[in-house]
Amino acid sequence: MDCVRSLEPRAKKSLGQNFLHDRNIAAKIVAALDIRPEDHILEIGPGSGALTRHILPLAPAFFAALEKDAYWAFRLKELTAQTGSDILLYPVLADAVSFAWERLQPPLAWKLIGNLPYNIASPLMWDVAHKATGCCRAVFMVQKEVAKRVAAVPGTGAYGALSVWIQSFVAAEYLFAVGPQVFSPRPKVDSAVLLFLRSGAQASFVPEILSWLLRVSFQQRRKQLQRILRGLEPRIGEVLESLKIPLASRPEELAPQQFHALSNVLGRAFLSIRENRA
């Protein structure tokens, strides 16, 4: 009996639930998190417990699970009993999208893991990368195309605002693809597993300004940056030259560090726009 059917899952389309039922894939995902006895683990959307079953025997110092579906949140205690684990698993009935990720702060070293619903994966990873500064390592399974975007390098078609933003806070690595046949119900797309590692280095930019710049830039990603930003900074040509950014550059060609430097220079334009809207 597999790890989904044993708990009689009820997949809810409204929550984007697709339950993993392959024990080997589940074990591989958990292994990538590199759980140690001193770790504080938070699982996002455990559902029927495919990953949870492999985490419990590793006996982390603290283990909590964030679950929006009340049915599965209450079944987590039963799952702990089934595995015979002595570890206390703390179910948290909450929506990960609105969770206060700022609560995961140093000095505790948090590790996050989850099979993220396709419809919330991008905004959720956006928030976790930025706000959960105490998260030193994370492993997420998401839609394959989204995973490629997150880990994309400059100059590629998949590279965009999501790539720059997440790579501004963590090192993102594409680990492996997962086919739809290991889920119930079976999704229409492939999935992939991502690894996030936080270096601990201090950010050299203001996140709010960077977010604004990425939104403005990638809305017109096929245009040259000097044309996109001319209305915000009349001397944009001089600004780009001072940062050693070619005048003909398009947004998808800039590395995250170049966007950081550009956002610092354009901070005054951002503040002016914000004041005018207030």
**Domain for residue 43, yes or no?**
yes
Residue 4, pLDDT > 50, answer no
The pLDDT value recorded for residue 153 is: 98
Do 258 and 165 lie in one domain? The reply is: no
3 confidence band (pLDDT: 50, 70, 90):
very low
Place of tokens 């709010």: 208
**Domain for residue 30, yes or no?**
yes
Among candidate residues 136, 163, 197, the one where a domain is terminated? 197
Q: How high is the mean pLDDT of the chain?
A: 89
Do 229 and 181 lie in one domain? The reply is: no
Do 135 and 268 lie in one domain? The reply is: no
Q: Which of 64, 47, 66, 45 is nearest to 55 (CA)?
A: 64
Residue 16, pLDDT > 60, answer no
* Omega prior to 117 cis, within 30 of 0: no
15 confidence band (pLDDT: 50, 70, 90):
very low
Beta bridge partners of 140: 114, 194
**Domain for residue 267, yes or no?**
yes
Do 184 and 272 lie in one domain? The reply is: no
List helix spans (H) across the chain.
23-33, 52-55, 70-83, 121-131, 144-151, 161-167, 207-218, 225-229, 236-242, 256-265, 267-277
pTM beyond 0.85, yes or no:
yes
**What is the spatial distance between Cα 20 and Cα 116, in angstroms, rounded to a whole number?**
11
Do 109 and 184 lie in one domain? The reply is: yes
Do 41 and 143 lie in one domain? The reply is: yes
Report pLDDT digits (tens) over 58-68: 999 999 999 99
Q: Which of 19, 113, 2 is nearest to 72 (CA)?
A: 19
Among candidate residues 197, 224, 256, the one where a domain is terminated? 197
**What is the spatial distance between Cα 246 and Cα 239, in angstroms, rounded to a whole number?**
10
Do 133 and 227 lie in one domain? The reply is: no
Place of tokens 């996140």: 207
The pLDDT value recorded for residue 1 is: 32
Q: How many domains does the chain have?
A: 2
The residue-averaged pLDDT of 194-200 equals 90
**What is the spatial distance between Cα 8 and Cα 187, in angstroms, rounded to a whole number?**
19
Which DSSP letter does residue 87 get?
S
The residue-averaged pLDDT of 158-171 equals 97
Do 238 and 153 lie in one domain? The reply is: no
Do 175 and 238 lie in one domain? The reply is: no
Do 171 and 267 lie in one domain? The reply is: no
194, containing H or E segment: strand 191-197
The residue-averaged pLDDT of 235-247 equals 94
- The CATH number given to whatever domain includes residue 85 is 3.40.50.150
Among candidate residues 162, 197, 232, the one where a domain is terminated? 197
Q: What are the CA-CA distances from residue 107 to residues 4, 37, 88 (Å)? A: 36, 16, 22
8 Å CB contact between 126 and 166:
yes
For residue 223, which amino acid is it? K
Residue 76, pLDDT > 90, answer no
The residue-averaged pLDDT of 107-125 equals 94
Backbone angles phi, psi at 158, to 5 degrees: -80, -15
**What is the spatial distance between Cα 221 and Cα 198, in angstroms, rounded to a whole number?**
28
**What is the spatial distance between Cα 171 and Cα 151, in angstroms, rounded to a whole number?**
8
**Domain for residue 202, yes or no?**
no
8 Å CB contact between 144 and 157:
no
**Domain for residue 20, yes or no?**
yes
- The CATH number given to whatever domain includes residue 255 is 1.10.8.100
For residue 113, which amino acid is it? I
Do 189 and 218 lie in one domain? The reply is: no
The pLDDT value recorded for residue 158 is: 97
Report pLDDT digits (tens) over 165-179: 999 999 999 999 999
**What is the spatial distance between Cα 76 and Cα 72, in angstroms, rounded to a whole number?**
6
Do 160 and 244 lie in one domain? The reply is: no
**Domain for residue 67, yes or no?**
yes
Domain membership of residue 236 as a residue range:
207-277
